[in-house]
Structure formats: structure tokens, C-alpha cells
Structure 1
Amino acid sequence: MLVIGSIVFGLFLLFLGAAIVDSSHLTSDAGTPAGNDRANVWGPVVAHAGIFFFVVGLVGAAILLEDLDIFVRLFLLIVAFVALLLVLANSPTIFG
């Protein structure tokens, strides 16, 4: 249950990071220091924490949930690897 919670929490943090970055592009905050901080600091920090929990949850599910089919476990590892590649490819660019 903790593994599934980690995956869901990671996805929620990814959503929250994208929302923070998008909120910095509002007309009232465009170009202000607070808007720039949200776009360049807080949004990516929250998104990177989200991708960390997401990858840890996927790897944990692939390792700890032994009643899953071997191909499902392999698929979870492949998805975790692709998510890790997104981090290495500078994931804040995903949010614009």
C-alpha cells in the first residue's frame, strides 16, 4: 500500500509543480520577481520531488510486489527508467 501511495503522491507533486509554473505566467505576475521565482525555482523543485517519489514507487512496486506477473514488473521498471530519462533531459522544460 505504501508503494501505491508513493506513486500517487509523486503524480500529485508533478501536477502541483506544473500548476506552480503555470501560475507564474498569469498576467498579474508576469515578469515580477515572485513570478520568476515560482517559474524557475519552486515549480521545478516540487516537480523533481514528485518524479523522485514516482520513480521510487515504481521501482518499489517492481521489486516488492511479488504477486505481479513478471512482464508487469518489467513494464514498471521500463516506465521508471523512462521517467528517470526525463529528469536527465531537464524535466522543467516539460512545463514550458
Structure 2
Amino acid sequence: MLFIGLILLAATGAFTGLVIAGNLSGGPEYTVSMLDHPIATMNTLAIFSAGLALALIFCLGLAAAMRATVRHHHRGPRAYDARVGGPHETAT
């Protein structure tokens, strides 16, 4: 889950950065391009909606990465030792 979260974070960040860098001279309605390939012609409402969608995907990736990290830290050494038969395992 951590890997998927980090992939989502990196992909949305890279896509947003490339789109912004390639479209610094925009108007009320213009063609969005990335790496000199046109993607779509958008107006300001469509651009705003696309920004909201990218922010939502970014937050989803951040939440997935944080959840995986917190879950990993809450397991602790006892859960790991019980699986591998380590020193914390109690004898009954």
C-alpha cells in the first residue's frame, strides 16, 4: 500500500508539473499540451475541475502512504517475532 501511495504521489506531481511548465502562456480558452503533444482544449471551469481531480488523487496517494506507514509502525516487534518465532514469543 505504501508503494501504491508513493506511485500516486509521484505520478500526480510529475503530471501537474509538466502540464504547468508546458502551458505558462494560457488564455480564457486554450489547448493544454504536455511534451509538445496537445491533450485537450479547456476553458477555465474545466481547468479548475481538473485541478480538483488531481488534488483528490494526490490526497488519496498521500493517505494511502500514511496509512501504510502508520500500520507498519503499530505492528511493532512482537507481531514480527511471533511470525518468525523470535525471542518475544511466549512458551506455553
Task: State the TM bucket, normalised to the shorter chain.
Answer: 0.3 to 0.5
Question: 1 or 2, which has the higher strand percentage?
Answer: 2
Using the size of structure 1 for normalisation, the TM-score is 0.46
* Structure possessing the higher radius of gyration over alpha carbons: 2
Using the size of structure 2 for normalisation, the TM-score is 0.47
